[in-house]
């Protein structure tokens, strides 16, 4: 059997990193006592500094470096000279060796077993895109070479109003495109909504809200003049619970991520704005995610086997492609020792051939690491346009792409496909309609809040001052949607009769306790209050005040933030039977003022855990969290309050805002902790949404989008962040395969604190009568791949006249701005280009492909599963039925997870009402990736089992097929 088929995406076991890894392993280095964290090499924020800090400008913390050596301590001149001489010799020896080693390993490593897949499949084959490609081909055929390059290359960082700006093709009427960060809202914009984070949306388990979240975001983006939203985010998937950017996605399960991505993409694109699904793929941690950000010349390599890649990390991207997503953003990291934005197997083989992707691939900002090679591997647009460093203006494309076409190294056929894909996406979303997109660009600036400024603030060239901010308010009534999402995304983890509270005199939860005077309620914790304001730190890069968002490029400027303390106080405002005291600190003066706790009858305590993108660090959180504990002493605060509230017999409500799972073992079983709410990251309506749930205006219906374990070890070795590199090119082997989050807990029979999909309600539900209906019979492989619906556009492929690539006469250049033009054509030489191995090998088409989203048979419904659900409680409520699939035993050589999520819904049920929910299971849902057949395969022997219930470990009804 072909080894490439056995583990198609695995790194070679003989890869050279094994040889040099030992030299850089901290355990075997001479620096045995070092506790230097590699994250000390964190660069400055590219938004606030145009130059990176020195890569190794950190204070050594080794004991032997903190104390002077013996001769230096004695201040003997001869000893000092001798020591300095020895030091100089050692320095020269190490310096010489280090220079050659560094020079060697700063090069991109070999590609391992990420095999070549060339040439790039052309777009325009799918039925749903055929008309857009026809229009695009007519426009592209009229473009000059510089215009084509302009469309594919960003103009540079801060070289336009958006975070990403392309150049126009003026003569054919194609505008410059503006790309702006999401996915929580419009980054750097004024008068725009700060929506709940992706993880909060995922916790709603509500498909309609997922759609509306995307749609509202797009409405605001369009009204701000944005063409492309850089969201939604489904990578990272959530392999590591402490991963810094997990909160931008929807949860640690590929099915949940895929459904949420598809719904939000439909919402975005039905408004005419292009969605960008990111980050493709396996960008699971922030440490070492990209070159130089952590002091290393190369990014981490995520080494993943073929089956795991398909069933976990690629799965939600398949849903995104099926939903018609316009753009895919390739990630910073390497996959099997090939950078994502230059990995032909990923971009050409998996994304385009297998999944049938019709849109364009853009790089993450500075994720492009080569020029010609990335074009050949399937990259279509480079962002922000600069080359290997921020704001250097030295693009790997731009004029270099023009030159590469003229000298024949990049086939004009490939450039034509790149441009056509971008223009087709523009037509596909209806952006040629000038009543919706006026072609004037954004009406705000990402770089200044002032009404006037320069067009390209990243250029030192003198420019005229022009209006840059029009302060257009685009929020509409989206606050109500943000509030609803935040409320439905709040998960009730524990409730021993405390919730819901009431606003009246009977607020006292334990009515049997006699009391004199008003009910004493005390609110504790910095997380309940405003702190220094929600926008105090750039890109929300610190944990202060109530936590409503993580940090990084996925964050937004808050127009306002309703704090929990403010909303709770307002709820009891004017009620003389209730007295509310607030202590908005994690260190209340309990010792000096014991009455704070002693007098309180109901204590509400807040705590949080924050993280974000790797270019920023806050205290010990350098992108990824260092552990799963609450931050800023949150656990200790909860314990103190639980022990002391009303002298030890008060009732305590704990509220947690967090970017991901937190360990709760210090206090979760304390008898005075009567209720726990996990409010995730709620956005601007934080306090209002929380009070809606606390007082029962909205019945809790959120479900955990990941598992809460009792320790980090519970998640397995693969769930742990690599905080120290294991080589100059860090190698992260995904040895756990399919078994992450609840799949790992199930496989090893580990009891979680709260399982995936868990969440309580104020009412109860009963599940009965599971009925399985076959619509199509089992068969091992899907139907044969269909023929393409349409033929991709064809163009004249003769090399253009070199003269058209020159700068126009009297052209005024902006320094560092990326143009497509050349200063001279005298140096263009058409020497044979060293094309990568396999470039001239025609690849067989995948049986898993054939249309947008893959083989159409994969999306056919083969089985339906119906269940009756009855509200057996005394309140109205929303139920989230979840369907999990158990595969037949089948081939003993193929290991399956104990169960996998394959369906969910959300229903509103009145008291005593019964409704029937039906799940449609597609062939894809019922299949696994067969590494031998290189296709999605069904298990034809044995019985599939479908389990339905309230969470991954509460599944009362089942059926078989």
- List the catalytic residues: 364
Query: What is the DSSP pairing of strand 765-774 with strand 731-733?
Result: unpaired
Task: Give dist(CA 892, CA 226) in Å, integer.
Answer: 52
Task: Give dist(CA 498, CA 772) in Å, integer.
Answer: 40
Cβ atoms 552, 521 nearer than 8 A: no
Question: Is the dihedral angle over the CA atoms 636, 609, 683, 469 positive or is it negative?
Answer: positive
Spell out the residues 6+ positions from residue 515 whose beta carbon is closer than 8 angstroms to its own: 508, 601
Strand blocks (E) in 764-893: 765-774, 861-871, 877-879, 882-886
Quick one: tokens of 886? 């158990």
Query: What is the DSSP pairing of strand 338-339 with strand 334-335?
Result: antiparallel
Task: Give dist(CA 155, CA 143) in Å, integer.
Answer: 18
Residue pointed to by tokens 């298990």: 939
Render the burial of 828-837: b for 16+ CB within 10 Å, e for the rest. Answer: beeeeeeebe
Cβ atoms 284, 339 nearer than 8 A: no
The residue count of the chain comes to 961
Residue pointed to by tokens 């929580």: 184
Count of other CB atoms within 10 angstroms of residue 257: 30
Half-sphere exposure of 442 (CA within 13 A, CB side): 31
Residue 430's region, left for phi above 0, alpha for psi from -120 to 50, else beta, is left
Query: What is the DSSP pairing of strand 882-886 with strand 900-904?
Result: antiparallel
Q: Classify residue 298 as exposed, middle or buried by CB count within 10 Å of its CB (0-12, 13-18, 19+).
A: buried
Render the burial of 315-345: b for 16+ CB within 10 Å, e for the rest. Answer: bbbbbbbbbbbbbbbbbbbbbbbbbbbbbbb
DSSP type of residue 349 = I
Quick one: which of 529, 534, 700 has its CA closest to 193?
534
The β-bridge partners of 174 are 169
Quick one: which of 313, 204, 72 has its CA closest to 698?
204
Indicate the SS3 state at residue 505.
helix
Q: How far is CA 817 from CA 163, 389, 459, 562, in A?
A: 14, 14, 7, 41
């Amino acid at each position: 059997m072909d080894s490439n088929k056995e583990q198609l995406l695995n790194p070679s076991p003989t890869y050279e990193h094994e040889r040099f890894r030992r030299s850089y392993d901290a355990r075997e280095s001479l620096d045995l006592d070092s506790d230097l964290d590699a994250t000390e090499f964190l660069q400055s924020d590219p938004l606030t500094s145009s130059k990176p800090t020195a890569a190794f400008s950190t204070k050594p913390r080794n004991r032997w470096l903190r104390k002077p050596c013996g001769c230096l301590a004695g201040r003997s001149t001869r000893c000092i000279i001798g020591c300095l001489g020895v030091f100089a010799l050692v320095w020269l020896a190490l310096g010489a060796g280090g220079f050659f080693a560094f020079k060697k390993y700063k090069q991109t490593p070999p590609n391992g077993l990420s095999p070549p897949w060339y040439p790039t499949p052309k777009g325009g084959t799918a039925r749903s895109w055929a008309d857009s490609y026809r229009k695009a081909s007519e426009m592209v055929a009229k473009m000059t070479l510089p215009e084509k390059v302009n469309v594919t290359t960003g103009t540079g960082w801060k070289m336009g109003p958006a975070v990403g700006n392309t150049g126009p093709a003026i003569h054919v009427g194609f505008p410059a495109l503006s790309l702006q960060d999401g996915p929580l809202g419009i980054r750097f914009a004024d008068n725009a909504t700060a929506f709940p984070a992706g993880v909060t949306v995922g916790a709603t388990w509500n498909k309609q809200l997922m759609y509306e979240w995307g749609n509202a975001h797009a409405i605001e983006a369009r009204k701000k003049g944005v063409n492309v939203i850089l969201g939604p985010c489904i990578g990272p998937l959530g392999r590591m619970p402490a991963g810094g950017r997990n909160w931008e996605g929807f949860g640690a399960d590929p099915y949940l991520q895929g459904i949420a991505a598809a719904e939000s993409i439909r919402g975005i694109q039905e408004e005419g704005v292009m969605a960008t699904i990111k980050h493709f793929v396996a960008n699971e941690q922030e440490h070492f995610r990209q070159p130089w950000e952590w002091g290393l010349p190369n990014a981490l390599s995520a080494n993943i086997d073929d089956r795991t890649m398909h069933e976990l990390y690629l799965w939600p991207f398949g849903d995104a492609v099926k939903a018609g997503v316009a753009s895919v953003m390739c990630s910073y990291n390497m996959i099997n020792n090939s950078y994502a934005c230059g990995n032909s197997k990923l971009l050409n083989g998996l994304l385009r051939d297998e999944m049938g992707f019709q849109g364009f691939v853009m790089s993450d900002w500075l994720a492009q690491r080569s020029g010609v090679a990335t074009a050949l591997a399937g990259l279509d647009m480079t962002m922000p346009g600069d080359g290997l460093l921020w704001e250097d203006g030295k693009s790997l494309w731009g004029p270099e792409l023009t030159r590469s076409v003229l000298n024949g190294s990049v086939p004009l056929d490939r450039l034509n496909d790149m441009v056509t894909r971008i223009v087709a996406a523009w037509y596909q979303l209806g952006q040629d309609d000038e009543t919706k997109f006026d072609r004037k660009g954004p009406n705000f600036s990402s770089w200044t809040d002032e009404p006037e400024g320069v067009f390209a603030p990243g250029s030192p060239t003198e420019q005229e001052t022009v209006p840059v901010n029009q302060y257009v308010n685009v929020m509409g009534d989206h606050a109500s949607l943000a509030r609803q999402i935040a409320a439905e995304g709040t998960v009730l983890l524990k409730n021993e009769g405390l919730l819901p509270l009431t606003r009246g005199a009977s607020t006292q939860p334990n009515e049997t306790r006699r009391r004199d005077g008003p009910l004493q309620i005390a609110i504790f914790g910095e997380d309940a209050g405003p702190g220094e304001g929600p926008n105090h730190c750039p890109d929300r890069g610190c944990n202060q005040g109530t936590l409503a968002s993580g940090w990084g490029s996925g964050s937004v400027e808050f127009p306002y933030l309703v704090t929990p303390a403010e909303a709770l106080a307002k709820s009891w405002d004017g009620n003389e039977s209730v007295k509310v005291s607030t202590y908005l600190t994690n260190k209340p003066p309990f010792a000096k003022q014991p009455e704070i706790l002693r007098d309180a009858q109901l204590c509400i305590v807040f705590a949080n855990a924050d993280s974000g993108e790797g270019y920023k660090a806050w205290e010990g959180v350098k992108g990824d969290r260092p552990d799963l504990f609450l931050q800023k002493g949150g656990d200790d605060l909860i314990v103190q309050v639980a022990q002391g509230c009303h002298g030890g017999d008060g009732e305590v409500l704990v509220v947690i805002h967090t970017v991901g799972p937190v360990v709760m073992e210090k206090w979760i079983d304390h008898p005075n902790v009567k209720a726990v709410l996990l409010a995730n990251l709620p956005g601007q309506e934080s306090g209002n949404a929380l009070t809606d749930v606390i007082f029962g205006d909205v019945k809790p219906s959120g479900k955990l989008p990941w598992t809460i374990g009792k320790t980090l070890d519970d998640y397995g070795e693969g769930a742990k962040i690599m905080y120290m590199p294991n080589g100059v090119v860090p190698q992260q082997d995904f040895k756990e395969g399919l078994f992450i989050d609840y799949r790992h807990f199930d496989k090893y029979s580990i009891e979680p604190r709260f399982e995936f999909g868990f969440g309580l309600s104020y009412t109860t539900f009963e599940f009965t009568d599971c009925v399985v209906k076959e619509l199509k019979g089992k068969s091992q492989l899907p139907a044969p791949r269909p023929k393409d619906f349409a033929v991709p556009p064809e163009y004249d492929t003769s090399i253009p006249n070199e003269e058209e690539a020159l700068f126009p006469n009297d052209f005024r250049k902006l320094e560092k701005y990326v143009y497509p033009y050349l200063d001279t054509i005298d140096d263009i030489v058409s020497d044979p280009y060293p094309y990568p191995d396999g470039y001239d090998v025609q690849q067989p088409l995948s049986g898993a492909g054939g249309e947008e989203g893959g083989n159409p048979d994969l999306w056919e419904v083969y089985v339906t599963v119906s269940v009756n659900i009855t509200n057996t409680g005394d309140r109205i409520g929303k139920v989230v039925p979840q369907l999990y699939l158990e595969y037949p035993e089948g081939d003993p050589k193929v290991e399956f997870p104990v169960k996998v999520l394959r369906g969910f819904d959300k229903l509103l049920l009145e008291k005593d009402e019964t409704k029937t929910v039906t799940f449609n299971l597609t062939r894809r849902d019922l299949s696994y990736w067969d590494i031998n057949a290189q296709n999605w395969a069904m298990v034809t022997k044995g019985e599939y089992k479908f389990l339905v219930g309230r969470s991954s470990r509460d599944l009362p009804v089942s059926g078989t097929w």
